[in-house]
């Protein structure tokens, strides 16, 4: 049976821009730590791409495995709940991590049900026709949908950069130090 033609690609700007947009729009919380939200937004790819697309390609044949499941997102949420105290600044800061992971899964739609609901629908992960890392990069460059996603994510990041006046070194230092934007 041929592999699914939809590759499990990484779209960095799509996940960062999309998650920052959704986080700021849905929660409207100026105190949300955007550094932690951004980490959560890319965490599934930081875990799964090296494992499934580079290290164990022959076994998994996909870059969407364990960290692209609801089980992983719930485990991250549970970890934050267990390791932080209710009402603490640490919990407020780190709750952005599972939120970013959930946004990543949302932005990856359509994610295969077998992956999203793993292991409830079976222990196997669907394989994707992405091949080696070089083939994955080539696909990224010629896929109009992936290019559109990246452009949209990058466009939002540029708008946010300008709106928050991050060209000013003091504002950048504040963002890096606190994870907050003043817009």
Q: How far apart are CA 168 and CA 162, in angstroms?
A: 10
Q: Can you name the residues that pair with 128 across neighbouring β-strands? A: 4
The DSSP-derived string for 40-80 is HHHHHHHHHIIIIIIISHHHH-SS-SGGGSHHHHHHHHHHH
8 A C-beta contact, residue 41 and residue 16: yes
Residue 5's pLDDT band (cuts 50, 70, 90): very low
139: confidence class by pLDDT, cuts 50, 70, 90: low
Percent of the chain with pLDDT over 70: 84
C-alpha to C-alpha distance for 80 and 92, rounded to whole angstroms: 10
pTM, to two decimals:
0.84
Pair of tokens at residue 158: 């540029």
Query: What value, to the nearest 5°, has the Cα angle with vertex 63 and ends 123 and 83?
Result: 75
Model confidence over 35-77: pLDDT tens digits?
999 999 999 999 988 887 777 777 777 778 889 999 999 999 9
Asked if 98 contacts 81 with a C-beta cutoff of 8 angstroms, the reply is: no
């Amino acid at each position: 049976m041929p592999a699914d033609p939809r590759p499990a690609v990484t779209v960095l700007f799509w996940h960062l821009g999309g998650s920052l947009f959704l986080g700021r729009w849905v929660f409207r919380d100026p105190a949300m730590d955007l550094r932690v939200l951004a980490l959560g937004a890319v965490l599934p790819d930081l875990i799964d791409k090296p494992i499934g697309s580079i290290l164990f390609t022959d076994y998994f044949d996909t870059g969407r495995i364990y960290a692209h499941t609801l089980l992983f997102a719930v485990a991250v949420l549970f970890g934050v709940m267990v390791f932080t105290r209710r009402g603490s600044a640490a919990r407020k800061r780190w709750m952005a991590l599972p939120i970013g992971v959930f946004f990543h899964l949302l932005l990856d739609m359509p994610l295969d049900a077998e992956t999203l609901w793993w292991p409830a629908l079976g222990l196997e992960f669907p394989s994707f026709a992405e091949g080696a890392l070089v083939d994955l990069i080539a696909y990224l460059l010629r896929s109009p949908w992936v290019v559109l996603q990246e452009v949209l994510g990058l466009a939002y990041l540029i708008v946010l950069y300008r709106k928050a006046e991050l060209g000013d070194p003091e504002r950048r230092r504040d963002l890096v130090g606190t994870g907050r934007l003043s817009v």
